[in-house]
C-alpha cells in the first residue's frame, strides 16, 4: 500500500471525522466541495487526497458517506487494535485519556504510568495506572506500540528511553523537550504553549488591521 504524505494523513483523519458526524446524522452522500468546506480545504485538494484511496464518487451524487468512511478507515487505521500507553496523568494526561476513549476504531490506551504512588493501581477513565518503574514490563506484556508523554519537561527523555527500550515505535510528545530517539521511532511534538503564543500574536495583528490576518498567516494545507 502506498505511504501517504504527513499532511495527507492529517486531512484524511479530518475527513473521516466529518464523515462520521454526517453518518450519525443520517446523511448518505456528500459532494467534494461540501466535504472541502467542512474540512476547510479546496475541493481539488479533497479529490487529490481521496485518489490515494482508490475510491471515487459520482457526478450525480458525490461520495457515499459510509463507503468513503470505510475506505479512509482501511487506509489510515490499522486492521488490528493498536495499544497505547500514557506517561503522566496530570491535567493534560487526564484530558487525553478522557478524549481518546472510544474515539478511534483501532486505538486504545490500555496503561498509564506515574511517579505518584497515590495513583498506582487506580482505574483512571477505564485505564489502569502503574508505577513508571513497571513501564517496560507492562508495555511488553500488553504489546503496546504507541506512547504518549505528558510529564514535566525534565522527565521526558527518561520516559522516552523507557518507552523505546520496551518496544514502542511511535511517541506523541507533549513535553517541550526535544526527544533523542533512534531511527525507526516516529515522534510527534505537541507544543501547546507555542500554539497559544501564535494564536495570541495573530489575534493582536488582526486587531491592528482592518483586514483579518488569519488567511494570510495560516499555515498552508498543501
pLDDT at 128: 95
The answer on 144 and 87 residing in a single domain is yes
Please report, for the domain that includes residue 99, its CATH number.
3.40.50.720
The answer on 92 and 71 residing in a single domain is no
Q: Find, among 163, 124, 135, the residue nearest to 147 by Cα.
A: 163
Domain that holds residue 87: 82-190
The answer on 183 and 107 residing in a single domain is yes
Q: Is residue 200 part of a domain?
A: no
* Confidence (pTM): 0.77
Count of domains for the chain: 2
Q: What is the pLDDT along the chain (222 residues), one digit of tens a residue?
A: 557 888 999 999 999 999 999 999 999 999 999 999 999 999 999 999 999 998 888 889 999 999 999 999 999 988 888 899 999 999 999 999 988 876 777 889 999 999 999 999 999 988 999 999 999 999 999 999 999 999 999 999 999 999 999 999 999 999 999 999 999 999 999 988 888 888 988 888 888 775 555 554 455 444
The answer on 20 and 60 residing in a single domain is yes
Angle at alpha carbon of residue 133, lines to 128 and 116, rounded to 5°? 60
Q: Is residue 215 part of a domain?
A: no
The answer on 127 and 149 residing in a single domain is yes
Amino acid at each position: 500500500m502506498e505511504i501517504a504524505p504527513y499532511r495527507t494523513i492529517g486531512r484524511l483523519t479530518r475527513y473521516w471525522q466529518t464523515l462520521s458526524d454526517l453518518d450519525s446524522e443520517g446523511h448518505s452522500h456528500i459532494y467534494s466541495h461540501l466535504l472541502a468546506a467542512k474540512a476547510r480545504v479546496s475541493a481539488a485538494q479533497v479529490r487529490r487526497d481521496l485518489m490515494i484511496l482508490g475510491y471515487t464518487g459520482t457526478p450525480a451524487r458525490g461520495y457515499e458517506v459510509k463507503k468513503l468512511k470505510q475506505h479512509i478507515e482501511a487506509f489510515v487505521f490499522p486492521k488490528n487494535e493498536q495499544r497505547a500507553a500514557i506517561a503522566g496523568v496530570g491535567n493534560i494526561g487526564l484530558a487525553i485519556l478522557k478524549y481518546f476513549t472510544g474515539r478511534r476504531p483501532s486505538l486504545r490506551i490500555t496503561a498509564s504510568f506515574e511517579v505518584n504512588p497515590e495513583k498506582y493501581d487506580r482505574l483512571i477513565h477505564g485505564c489502569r495506572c502503574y508505577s513508571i518503574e513497571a513501564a517496560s514490563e507492562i508495555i511488553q506484556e500488553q504489546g503496546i506500540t504507541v506512547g504518549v508523554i505528558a510529564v514535566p519537561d525534565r522527565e521526558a527523555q527518561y520516559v522516552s528511553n523507557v518507552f523505546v527500550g520496551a518496544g514502542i515505535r511511535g511517541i506523541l510528545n507533549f513535553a517541550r523537550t526535544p526527544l533523542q530517539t533512534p531511527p525507526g521511532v516516529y515522534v510527534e511534538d505537541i507544543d501547546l504553549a507555542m500554539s497559544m503564543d501564535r494564536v495570541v500574536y495573530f489575534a493582536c495583528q488582526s486587531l491592528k488591521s482592518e483586514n483579518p490576518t488569519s488567511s494570510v498567516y495560516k499555515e498552508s494545507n498543501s
